[in-house]
Structure formats: structure tokens, C-alpha cells
Structure 1
Amino acid sequence: MSSNKGYLQVNVTEQNQTPVEDATVQIAYTNDPTTILEELKTNLSGQTVQVELPTPSIEFSEAPSETKPYEEYTITVKAEGFGECTIKSSELLPDTLSIQPVRLSSIENSIEIFEHTLFGSYPAKIPEAQVKPIIEGGEIVLTRVVIPEYIIVHDGVPNDRNAPNYYVPYADYIKNVACSEIYANWPREAIIANVLAIQSFTMNRVYTEWYRGKGYDFTITSSTAYDQKFIYQRNIFESISTVVDEIFDSYLSRPNVKQPIMTQYCDGRSVGCEDRGWMTQWGSKELASSGKTAIEILRNSYGSDIYVNSAEQISGVPMSYPGYALRLGSSGAAVRHLQNLLNVIGSVYPEIGQLAEDGIYGKKTEDAVKKFQKIFGLAQDGITGKRTWYKVSQIYVGVTRIAETR
């Protein structure tokens, strides 16, 4: 990719996540919405082709700048039997692929994506202890670190009772926050470091049941003062999505501390926090550009004793990863389970097809996995490693809920 171009793909579904075929998708600059740059159609899986679009120069996302480093596009979607949906200010960075989800309903809908936290003005985080005190009969009620199926996001400050709550799959929540708080064209090690900090922060809220212990009915807020920025229906960048899919079950620990560490951070530009022992987002980018690894970046801020840990359990998946990749020639119960899940998914995404559930990873199973990987943005190698396994599990759960709503 060139340094002033990005790629955009639009994925169109019904509210229950069923893909919408043959929808018309129009793309325009947000500051000139009447001039249509592209008009596309969705395929059998509800997806458009990837289109190349102009962006600002990459230099504006490599260091703090007064120039907005991303272009904003307005996306309008029309489909027979649905109300028109408009997404305003979908962000596109140079050298990135952006996936914009659009959910259609029976009524017209318009959604505006708020400014990125590295460019807009947002409240600074309120400092908290990295490890919450365990008070007998108090707030900590979980005994194990478990990845939840959903995060309940309160879209406002905690005491705003008019703000909506959104039920968001855990990995999708992490992707949304990371895309809202760092730039997707930063070095991979910077993305990994920031994703780990976001996940550890989130898992501390989950493990301590922080808000439920205060009488609220949600997991976390979208306020940057209290938590992390979540932007409803925002676009997701492929580079960040890939990292999250690879490490979504990881968090940060200290020796002899059970709970995930509350890894607070700041941008390091409009807000400083180095003196508090927090990571700065711009600082993480600079360290990664100098050759530092993700764990070196994290230890630079949070201390040399911090390490990456893995959750003991992942909720909402029908079967845990077997611990090894399934590929052509594999056989057994794990393969049969995979074939069953792919068949259920294939009932909604017919490009995948149907398989004999014989427990043998033959050419047809390999081809079905490749088609699944293509639809859901994974490397198309036909191998079911950890990332593909859990993506299949996630989509399967979503598809079974589609069936329940019909």
C-alpha cells in the first residue's frame, strides 16, 4: 500500500447478524456527502469488495500532529426490505484495511462515529490502584480469571442513568477500544502492548466486578475518565483485529497477585502520566519504532516484574482449543466438532458449504476452512490454529442465536 491510501470494506447484516446480499453501498467524503466516490454491492456473505481510498499522509499518524491523520467517510447502505442506514465519519488511516460493519433494520438509521481519542478532546483517566484490595464480603467475588462471553458497556459516565448499555462480545469490545485509542498503522509491537494493557484493564473490571459491586448493572463504561473509549458501531482495522484474535485470552500479571493488573494509561501528549507509572500511547509507539518488543514496552512503564498471563477459562465457546493446529490429514473428535460448527455456520454463510461430519480433515474440510477464513478476514491457509478455532466458535455462537430469533 502507498503512504496516502487506505482500503475500506463494508460488511452488511441484519440486526441478528444475518448477512444481507445485494445491498447498495455508497461511499462519500463526510465533508462532501453528496459526491459519491464509490457505489458497491454486497455479496452472498454481505460484504463489499475492498476499495482503495485517499487518506492523509502517514506522517500525521507517526507523531502527534495538529492535522487529522485519518480521512472520514460517510457510508450509506440501502437494501430491499430495510430502512436506509448512514454511517458518518468512518475513519480510514493510510496503509490500513478498515472494516465498517453496518446493521440494517426496518427503520432508517444514522450513526456518527466520534473522534479518535488521540486527536479529539477527552477527559483524562481518574487514577486507581493497580491491584484492588480484597475486602472480606466486599467487591471481589470471582475465584478464577475467566474471559467473559460479553462485556456490558455503559455508554456514558457511571451515574448517567439515561445512557444505553450495549452487550458486546469480549473480543469485539477489545477491538473497538483499541481502534478508538491507538492508530492501526503503528508498529505491531506497539499494537500488542496497547491491546494487552486494554485487556488487562478490562479483565480487572471483570474479575473484581467493580461496577456491580457498586450497584450498577454493567461491566464497564465508555468514559475515558473512568475506563476506556468504546464507540458504538465504529469501524475496525484489520491490523488490530488480527492481534486481538491472537492474544484475546491474555492479560498482565504480577508475581503472587491473582487479579489482572489495572493497567491505566494516557496518550502522553494532551495528558501526561509517566510519573504515575502508566504507559503512554505515543511513548509505546516510539519505543516500538526503536525496536522494543511489547513486553519491553510494558515493563518500561509498569515495572520489570510484570508478565503476560493467560485466562483459565473462556466463556461461551462450545469446546476449548485442542492445543494443536488441525490440518489436512488430522482426524478425531476435535475435527468432527469443527465440521459440525462449520456446517451450522454454513447454513447462514452458504459459501462455506456443508461437510460430512466424519472426523477426517480432508480436502473438503480444508476448503471449507479456507472459505471461512476468507469471509472473516483470516489468513487463508486452510489450517485451524488457535485464531481460526476461536473465530469459528465465536461465529457459531452468533449463528445459533440467529436461529433462535427466527
Structure 2
Amino acid sequence: MNYSHMRAMQDNRVDRGRLMVTVQSSIRNLPITNAKVTISYSGDPESPIEELTTDANGQTPEIELPAPPLDYSMAPSEYQPYSEYTVQINADGFEPIDVSGTEVLPEAEALLPVRMQPTAPGEQFQNIVIPAHTLYGEYPPKIPEDEIKPTNESGEIVLSRVVIPEYVVVHDGAPSDSTAANYYIRYRDYIKNVASSEIYATWPDNTIRANVLAIMSFTLNRVYTEWYRNKGYDFTITSSTAYDHKFMYGRNIFKSISDIVDELFSNYLSRPNVKQPILTQYCDGQRVSCPNWMSQWGSKYLGDQNYSAIEILRHYYGDNMYINSAEEVSGVPASWPGYNLDIGASGDKVRQMQEQLNTIGEVYTAIPSIAADGIYGEGTQNAVREFQSIFGLPQTGIVDYRTWYKIQEIFVGVTRIAELQ
């Protein structure tokens, strides 16, 4: 970025965005209490503007920070539409972490999840640098591919049905770059990361939904066809925009995007009589033109006109595009019962959920212990409401689809002996 643009950005911090930091240990995802979180402008990391401390859930208070005008993210602009902050995290017994380039958009809630490694001999502090957003920075355009992969070659299709994976393995570079790191990332965290890197959280909800569905369908095509493994690689997908989507290790996400991913995470896009998720390619539509793919900026303008997510997708990919749902979610306990659990509900699903909440409560101690009796009473409702409060869900006390899968996700995280590294 040149200095005139940087100066203009600093002079134009006229709006406010919000930021919350969540700090966990890499061991069992335990929340880290009393971590010191220092926030400064990325251009002046030695001058703190906020100093925060994490609570028993490993969370800082949500704070407001200056951000550029909202208009900058609503149409292509020469000015950077987000402010950049450096977040420094220190906690006793853990290696310190600096995250520079943390993005704060106006009128949006930024969420920075941080996982700290216990102190070990010879370890150095971790310095994560978040690169420019794909709609603002310069990245290579996508190399076109067929949206449906051939199925008549022996070994080409390995999976018999579409499954939502618990993890994807992300190769942080071009496929042939053997020096690039591989990261094991939870599928939903991966989608939230990519969507936060590819579109702006200030856009209409249905635009975000359309883009999230395209990102998930593309990713699940890579999973279903085992695209890279069939080429001899040991990863699921890359972070190169020339081949896949932009994934930025350690970056912050945005709550509006996170909520929509949690709402849609078992969905993908399909065409009639095609088993595999469609490889839904797209481009920004401004610097790069892609007549047969979705335009990100174009999808934003359609969202402004109150198009639904499927209407946006069909506008670009044709009327025979449908939203489908995966049969199975891998790596989590017995799945969604198919109905909300509320006062008066009973049975094995209630008992399973109560047992999981009690286990989670051993780590997140604000959640009260409850009797795992299979009966959904007021005690269970209160525990559910506290769980929802900690993990940013509407505090209804009802276990709906999003709450159910969030309980599964956190339960798996806190009971895993060691994360895949």
C-alpha cells in the first residue's frame, strides 16, 4: 500500500467496528483465563490503544474500534475498506502470539480465535501476518476447471456419498510447492476463514449465503473427488487463488459470516442427476471477468435488490442449480435428531446432549452441572442458555440445529486427547 493511501485510510477512520478475541490452549481447546491481550494499529504496534484480559471462558470483552467508512466495502474502491490492528497475546505458561493485519470492518463484529502452544524449550513466539483481503489485494485469478469431474476413470471417485468432513487438510501454497505448510483445519472453521478472506461481512445476508454455499460446494467437490490425493498429494485443498480459495492461516473471521456458515454447513450445490457437489468457481467481477461463474461484486448488487441466495446462484450458474444437504457429518457423535429439544422433551437424544454439556462444563465452568436423566427440564434449559451465551448463539434455552451442532463441535474439541498437528 502506498503512503497516500495509508494516510487517507488513517484520516478516514470515521466509523466503528467491533472486535472480540477468544484465547484457547492447543491442548483440548481449553479456554485460557487471564491472558493479556494488547491491541494497537498495525502501523504503530508499539503504541497500544487497548489492553484487555480474558475471562473464565477465554474471551475478552467486545470492544469498539475505529474503521473506515462503510461505503468503502459496498462498492469497489481504491481505499482499503477495513482497519488493520495488531493483536498481541501473552499468557503464563504459553508461547506469546502476535497477529498483525487483524481486519475490522465498520458496523461488523470481528472475531479473532487464538490457539496458544504451551511453553517449550527453544520455542519462539508466533508472529501471524494476515495478508490483504482478496477483494483489495492482488492475487492470481482462478485457473478454469470443469465444474463436474469425470466419474468413468478407475479410482477417480472414492467416496460413495457426500459427507461433511470434520477436518480438511489445507496446503498453504500452490499444489507443487513442497515447502508450503499443511494445516489440519476443522471444516467449518476453514469455510469461515475463506469466506472472511473472499467477501466482506458488511454485505447483505443473502449475498453472504450465496457465496458461502459456493465456497462449501467447491470445497466438498475437492473432498468428494479426492482431487489432490488422486494426483499423489497428501492434502484436501490449497490456499492458492489460482487453484482453490484464499485461506489465511490465523486470520480473524466475522460473526455475520460465522453465523451463516453454522446455519448452512451441511449444504452444498448440485445439479440434477449429478452425485458430486458442483465445483462452483467465481471471480470478483471487477478486476477479473468470468462470464459463466459467479461475480462476487455482482452477487453483492443482487443482494442489494433482495434476491434470495438461490436466486443469486441461479442468476450465474443457471436455473438447474439446487441446494442439497449432505447425508452425514463425519467425526461427531450421533447427529441432529431432526427437531428442536425444549422443555418437556425426553429420550436418548436429550440424555446424550446433557452428558455432553456436563463434559463441556468441566472446561467452561460457567455452564452449570445438570442431571443426565434424559428429561429436558429447567436445569437443562439454563445450562443450554449459558452454553449459547458463551458461544455467541441466540440465548433461547432451546437446542435447535445450530446449537446441537455447536455442542457436538465443542464436545469433540474438549474430549480429543490431542489435536491433529
**TM-score normalised per structure 2:** 0.94
Q: Which residue of 2 aligns with 1:33?
A: 45
Which of 320, 324, 329 lines up with 2:344 in the alignment?
Answer: 329
Q: Distance in 1 between matches of 2:333 and 2:269?
A: 26
Q: Distance in 2 between matches of 1:325 and 1:403?
A: 32
Q: Distance in 2 between matches of 1:147 and 1:78?
A: 35
1:354-393 superposed matches below 5 A: 354-393=369-408
Provide, for residues 222-276 of structure 1, a one-character-per-residue CA deviation record: whole Å limited to 9, x for no partner: 00000001100110100000000011000001111111111000011111102xx
Which of 293, 315, 322 lines up with 1:278 in the alignment?
Answer: 293
Work out whether residues 20 and 110 of structure 2, in 8 Å CA contact, stay in contact via their aligned partners in 1.
yes
Q: Which residue of 1 aligns with 2:4?
A: none
Q: Distance in 2 between matches of 1:401 and 1:142?
A: 25
Q: Which runs of 5+ in 2 are unaligned?
A: 1-12
User: Partner of 2:416: helix, strand, or coil?
Assistant: helix
Work out whether residues 18 and 402 of structure 1, in 8 Å CA contact, stay in contact via their aligned partners in 2.
no
Q: Which residue of 2 aligns with 1:58?
A: 70
Shift in Å, 1:138: 3.3
Which of 6, 16, 19 lines up with 1:5 in the alignment?
Answer: 16
Quick one: structure 1 residues 3 and 253, their matched pair in 2 at CA, closer, same or farther if it must change by over 3 Å?
farther
Greater Cα shift, 33-42 or 301-310: 33-42
Q: Which residue of 2 aligns with 1:156?
A: 173
In the alignment, structure 1 residue 147 sits paired with structure 2 residue 154: no
User: Partner of 1:352: helix, strand, or coil?
Assistant: coil
Aligned AA (1:326): L
Which of 362, 368, 374 lines up with 1:347 in the alignment?
Answer: 362
Quick one: structure 1 residues 258 and 85, their matched pair in 2 at CA, closer, same or farther if it must change by over 3 Å?
same
Work out whether residues 3 and 58 of structure 1, in 8 Å CA contact, stay in contact via their aligned partners in 2.
no
Shift in Å, 1:112: 0.6
Q: Distance in 2 between matches of 1:208 and 1:403?
A: 28
User: Partner of 1:91: helix, strand, or coil?
Assistant: strand
Aligned AA (1:369): V
Q: Which residue of 1 aligns with 2:191?
A: 174
Work out whether residues 3 and 95 of structure 1, in 8 Å CA contact, stay in contact via their aligned partners in 2.
no
Quick one: structure 1 residues 345 and 402, their matched pair in 2 at CA, closer, same or farther if it must change by over 3 Å?
farther
User: Partner of 1:351: helix, strand, or coil?
Assistant: coil
Provide, for residues 295-351 of structure 1, a one-character-per-residue CA deviation record: whole Å limited to 9, x for no partner: 010000000110100001110110110000001221111110100110111111111
Q: Which residue of 2 aligns with 1:20?
A: 32
Q: Distance in 1 between matches of 2:38 and 2:111?
A: 15
Aligned AA (2:51): E
Q: Distance in 2 between matches of 1:381 and 1:85?
A: 35
Q: Which residue of 2 aligns with 1:196?
A: 213
Q: Distance in 1 between matches of 2:419 and 2:284?
A: 43
Q: Give identity over the alignment, percent.
A: 58
User: Partner of 1:360: helix, strand, or coil?
Assistant: coil
Q: Distance in 2 between matches of 1:156 and 1:314?
A: 27
User: Partner of 2:366: helix, strand, or coil?
Assistant: helix
Q: Distance in 1 between matches of 2:236 and 2:218?
A: 12
Q: Distance in 2 between matches of 1:186 and 1:179?
A: 11
Q: Distance in 2 between matches of 1:283 and 1:271?
A: 12
Q: CA RMSD in A?
A: 1.4
